[in-house]
Structures are given as C-alpha cells and as structure tokens.
Copies of this chain bind each other. A is one copy, B any other.
Amino acid sequence: MKLSEIGEFGLINVLSKIVEDGRNPKNPQWKNLLAGIGDDTAVWRNGKRLALATTDCLVENVHFKRGQSSWRDLGWKALAVNLSDIAAMGGKAEYALVTLGLPHYTETESIIELYEGMIDLAKMWGVVIAGGDTTLSEKFFVSLTVTGSSGKRPLRRSSALPGDLIAVTGSPGMAAAGFKLIENGAKENEIDSPLRQAFLRPTPRLEEGTAICASGCRTAIDISDGLVADLGRICNSSGTGATIHTSMVPVHPSANKIFPAEALQMALGGGEDYELLFTANSGAIEKVKRTASSRITVIGEITAGPAGVVNLIDENGSAYRIEKAGWDHFGK
C-alpha cells in the first residue's frame, strides 16, 4: 500500500503499533516512558523530574521554498517548531541537536545565517545547540531534536474531559494568511507584516505552556496542523467530542481585513500556527489568563462524543463547514 493511500496519520498509527508490540515491561526504558509516539514530545521519568524530547524537520519545497524566507528566518523557524512541542507539554527546553542535509552548491554564508537565526531564538529561551550531523542531500533539509524537562505532570492529549472549556493562545490563522501573502508575492506593508512574521518567525508559546501547566490544566496540543485537526487529535486520544463556536475564534484583524472571506477558514484549518490549544475548567483557564502575557480565548467546549468528532457551530447555531481540516503529508 502506498503512503498516499494510508496517509501520514495512518502510517504513524501503524509504526506506533509495531513499536508497542515490542514493549518489554522489564526494560527500565519502557517502565519510565510516560508518553511515546503520538504525543507532542516523548516523556520519560528522569530521577525526580521528567525528560522531554521532540524532533521536527523542515524540507525544501515541502515546508518552504528558497527565496520565500531568508536563511535566518528559516533557522529561527526550525527551532521554533520544536520549542512549540516542548511548550505544548508545559516543559522547559534545554538542548538542541541540528541535522543539516545540504546540496553541494550550498553557500557557507547561508548556513551561517541559518545558525544565527536559530541562535537568536535559542538565546531567548536558554537553549544550547549541543551537536548535530551534516550530510550531503539533493534537497536542503534541517531536522532538529530538542530535549527539555518538566517538574510537573506534562500536558497530554488524552486527558480532556466532557465539560472542559477549550481555549487557544493568540490568533490562529495568522500563519496561513501570511503564507498566502508571501506565495502571492504581494509587497509587504505594515498591516500584513504580523501575518508574514507568524509564518516566517513563529513565536513558540513556552511561557504560556508553563502557565497552562502551573494553572492545573492537563490537556494541550500545538495547532501546527490546523486548529480543528489538532483538536480532533485531543478528542481521539481522550475519547471525547468537541464543539467550537466559530464566532468566538479570535481571528486576527489584519487577516480579517485582507482576507475577509477566508480568514475564519484559515483560523480553523490553515495550519502552521504555533499557538497552543488547551482544555480545562473555567477556573484553571482564568488562572492562565491572569499569568500568561498573550491573549487567551475560550472558543468552545469538550463534549461526551461522538469520540473524535469536532462540531463547528456558527453565530446562528447552524453547522459550519470547514474546507480543509489540516495537513497530511502523504494524503491525496
């Protein structure tokens, strides 16, 4: 069966099962593992704390095109997408390993700029680049692994409960709007600059992740594959349903202004947003609002079911139809 038939998440399920079939309860690594394949990061017990590790890759012509983002932005983003996974667990990021696949015609200066972009962001969060690998490759790719730690119970995908409110950081859909502007080749201006930045230099929500964790929330995910798709993953893992009130989704004013007909669809399914979606009771969410510096918006609630199904309701109480429910690398 071709990957295009089984899809990215079908493949991950198959691989997860093969790995799980090899589980050996006597092996201390299995005993200590709290979250494996299928969560934002791997989590294992490490003395009195938890160790976190995640990996994420940007591939030329798949995640970016040459000329559409600078090398410096690309370096920033390669680290940001990994830090976002640590944030979604409520953890602290510590070390990064950087693997570069480089065509032979690559300019050394480009790779230096790439590293400078990574280090810009690394310094903000105390992350140290501790190693990596360089290899020849026909197309450029950069793959990072970031390790981290947590002193608290990590934010899982499987712990949502019916009745939990669903909240989101920032303004989903900004990255999709920014990508469209860049793809169209429109000239940058003041109004659309935050949208472009959301795509080119996303802000990992590490501070918010820590606040979410400290406020007693138990469930979070980053919405890099699209708000509805990633909420669907929480619902699948938790055995719950969910309802989103589309009028409550905090679409960014610039996105609304430039793409009035599409901005809501971008917010629900655009992907490439590195915002956190989390669920908890209202008291815990209020606590997050008081401590986090970015905007926190309640957009719906977790329901009893059907499991895995996300309902979208518009301001008139009618069902709202999403055009594109998220990314699948291998899907048709």
Interface check A102, CB cutoff 8 A: yes
Interface check A188, CB cutoff 8 A: no
Do A37 and B131 have beta carbons less than 8 Å apart? yes
Partner of A109, one of B1, B94, B130: B1
Interface check A53, CB cutoff 8 A: yes
Do A29 and B127 have beta carbons less than 8 Å apart? yes
Q: How far is the CA of A41 from the CA of B147 in the complex (A)?
A: 14
| Nearest opposing residue in chain B for A132, CB measure | B55
Chain A positions 26 through 65: 1 when the CB is less than 8 Å from some CB of chain B, otherwise 0:
0111100100110101101011000101111101011100
Do A130 and B99 have beta carbons less than 8 Å apart? no
Interface check A22, CB cutoff 8 A: yes
Do A134 and B329 have beta carbons less than 8 Å apart? yes
Interface check A292, CB cutoff 8 A: no
Do A6 and B101 have beta carbons less than 8 Å apart? no
Contacts of A143 in B (CB 8 A): 55, 57, 99, 133, 143
Do B41 and A95 have beta carbons less than 8 Å apart? no
> Chain A: residues with CB nearer than 8 A to chain B?
1-6, 8, 10-12, 14-15, 18-19, 22, 24, 27-30, 33, 36-37, 39, 41-42, 44, 46-47, 51, 53-57, 59, 61-63, 94-95, 97, 99, 101-102, 104-109, 111-112, 115-116, 119, 122-123, 126-139, 141, 143, 145, 147, 329-330
| Nearest opposing residue in chain B for A4, CB measure | B104
Do B19 and A119 have beta carbons less than 8 Å apart? yes
| Nearest opposing residue in chain B for A28, CB measure | B126
Most chain B beta carbons < 10 A, residue from A24, A54, A57, A102: A57
Whether A55 contacts B6 in the complex (CB less than 8 A), given A15-B111, A115-B15, A119-B22, comes out as no
Most chain B beta carbons < 10 A, residue from A12, A116, A130, A135: A130
Do A18 and B116 have beta carbons less than 8 Å apart? yes
Q: How far is the CA of A148 from the CA of B62 in the complex (A)?
A: 32
A270 to chain B minimum Cβ distance, whole angstroms, is 18
Contacts of A47 in B (CB 8 A): 46-47
Do B3 and A128 have beta carbons less than 8 Å apart? no
| Nearest opposing residue in chain B for A110, CB measure | B3
Whether A111 contacts B53 in the complex (CB less than 8 A), given A123-B22, A136-B62, comes out as no
Q: How far is the CA of A42 from the CA of B101 in the complex (A)?
A: 20
Contacts of A131 in B (CB 8 A): 36-37, 39, 41-42, 53-55
